Amino acid sequence: MANPVTFHLPGDLDSFLQDVAQMYGGFSYSDMIKFYPTKEQKSQLRELYEQMCDADESERPSLAAKVAVVVNPDVICKGCGWHLDYGCQPEVSMEAVKCPNCNAIIDQTGKVLSKEVS
């Protein structure tokens, strides 16, 4: 039985996330410690947990990738591939931030909305 990484996640989700982090990556234990799930995120994770239990070996990596997006909402700029912490970037407009690397304006999915602001 794994020791819990966090004190605020339910034990089953905690150990599920540890397994995913260890086997598939996409987020780390320190991301888990920073991760305080909303009710909605918790039910998303539980759903993914159940899907993962039923899934074939070949389907698991894509499920794990979905788990990683829930836990670690870091955004990759599609303009330059830069990995940024969306929440830490100043918003330049509604739901858009500037990539610190290439100055493109991107949305929450990393899609480039416009190349550069003056």
Q: Would you tell me which residues interact with Zn ion (CB under 5 A)?
A: 77, 79-80, 82, 99, 101-102, 104
Residue 34 Cβ, how far from Zn ion at the closest point, in Å? Answer: 23
Cβ distance to Zn ion smaller for residue 26 or 79: 79
Block residue for tokens 């998303």: 44
Considering the complex, what minimum distance in angstroms separates the CB of residue 81 from Zn ion?
7
Which CB atom, from 20 or from 104, has the smaller least distance to Zn ion? 104
- Indicate the DSSP class of residue 4: P
Query: By CB neighbour count within 10 A (0-12 exposed, 13-18 middle, 19+ buried), where does 7 fall?
Result: exposed
By beta-carbon proximity to Zn ion, the closer residue of 11 and 100 is: 100
From the list 89, 61, 50, the residue with the least C-alpha distance to 110 is: 89
